[in-house]
């Protein structure tokens, strides 16, 4: 199947948003060309933090965004319908949360909800499990921080995982976004994009900035300039 190359896309994460003016912040990045935002869902079990429920997907959809719900929860297959029901475009769950059960079947179950399905791995999880299910993924997520909190330091040691996944996606022409999430900023986004990430989640590097719109534009320009040869 010939798959059109994907344009490297920066995806602001609501986790770093200012909840007292999140709507205005979303409108600002939308005006700057942002079309996709990420909603980090944390349950206080899978990660030591509690964040957003489906209402934040509803908010982002009401502002006209493409939305991925990143489920950092111990019961992703139970929770997935709650986010699909409010219009999430992609629901991403963690390989570690399904405890060795069939990732392919889990991805198909999520897709059966009428949404696209993403699979994520934490920094300590080898890439093999994601590679094995890659052809069943609409999105593959390599965490570049230990999930749970925004504002952490980017882990460059995750880049070999990104390159391995990029090579497989390109070799098999898979229609799959390759996403990184965690600590992405203006100083490391080129490294992530040149390793092969075409989807780059950025929270603090956008919403903690004085001018989120300008920050978004700068990040996306850097990502597109650095993206791998296969997309040139
Ligand atoms: C971690 C979260 C964060 C968030 C991005 O569980 O997933 O990575 O999306 O936050 P920053 O960009 O501030 O690291």
Query: Could you identify the residue written with the tokens 């409010």?
Result: 86
CA 170 to chain centre: 19
* Ligand 1 atom closest to 203 (CA): 12
Following CA atoms 158, 226, 13, 131 in sequence, which dihedral angle do they give, to the nearest 10 degrees? -40
The answer to whether the beta carbons of residues 68 and 38 sit under 8 Å apart is yes
| 8 A C-beta contact, residue 131 and residue 168 | yes
pLDDT in tens, the chain (232 residues): 456 678 999 999 999 999 999 999 999 999 999 999 999 999 999 999 999 999 999 999 999 999 999 999 999 999 999 999 999 999 999 999 998 889 999 999 999 999 999 999 999 999 999 999 999 999 999 999 999 999 999 999 999 999 999 999 999 999 999 999 999 999 999 999 999 999 999 999 999 999 999 999 999 999 999 996 554 4
Of 43, 68, 181, 198, which is the active-site residue?
Answer: 181
Does residue 75's CB lie within 6 angstroms of at least one atom of ligand 1? no
Dist CA 209 CA 205 (whole Å): 6
Nearest-angstrom CA–CA distance, 135 and 64: 29
Distance CA 143, CA 172 (A): 23
Burial class (CB within 10 angstroms; exposed 0-12, middle 13-18, buried 19+) of 11: buried
- Whose alpha carbon is nearest atom 3 of ligand 1? 150
Q: Which residue has the tokens 């040869």?
A: 229
> What distances in angstroms separate CA 6 from CA 62, 143, 199, 231, one per listed residue?
25, 20, 9, 8
Active site residue 102: no
Cβ of 13 closer than 6 Å to ligand 1, yes or no, is yes
Residue 180 pairs in a beta bridge with 142, 200
Radius of gyration of the chain (CA): 16
Query: Is the CA virtual torsion 126, 129, 135, 136 positive or negative?
Result: negative
Q: What separation in Å is there between the alpha carbon of 1 and the centre of ligand 1?
A: 33
What is the three-class DSSP state of 192? helix
Spatial distance between the Cα atoms of 195 and 231, rounded to a whole number of angstroms: 12
Q: What domains can be seen in the chain, in order of their start residue?
A: 9-227 (3.20.20.70)
Output the pTM of the full model.
0.96
Q: Which two tokens stand for residue 211?
A: 């001018």
């Amino acid at each position: 199947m010939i798959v059109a190359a994907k344009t490297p896309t920066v995806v602001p994460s609501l986790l770093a948003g200012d909840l007292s003016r999140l709507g205005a912040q979303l409108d600002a990045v939308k005006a700057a060309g942002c079309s996709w935002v990420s909603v980090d869902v944390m349950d206080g079990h899978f990660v030591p933090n509690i964040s957003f429920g489906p209402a934040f997907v509803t908010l982002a959809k009401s502002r006209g965004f493409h939305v991925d719900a990143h489920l950092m929860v111990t019961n992703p297959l139970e929770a997935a319908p709650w986010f699909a029901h409010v219009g999430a475009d992609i629901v991403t769950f963690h390989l570690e949360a399904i405890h060795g059960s069939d990732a392919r079947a889990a991805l198909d179950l999520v897709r059966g909800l009428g949404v696209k399905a993403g699979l994520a791995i934490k920094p300590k999880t080898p890439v093999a499990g994601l590679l094995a299910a890659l052809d069943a993924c609409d999105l593959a997520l390599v965490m570049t921080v230990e999930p749970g909190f925004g504002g952490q330091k980017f882990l460059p040691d995750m880049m070999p995982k990104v390159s391995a996944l990029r090579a497989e996606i390109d070799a098999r022409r898979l229609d799959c976004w390759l996403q990184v999430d965690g600590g992405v900023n203006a100083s490391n986004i080129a490294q992530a994009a040149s390793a092969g990430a075409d989807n780059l989640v950025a929270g603090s590097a956008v919403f903690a900035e004085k001018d989120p719109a300008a920050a978004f534009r700068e990040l996306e320009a850097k990502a597109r300039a650095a993206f791998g040869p296969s997309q040139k």
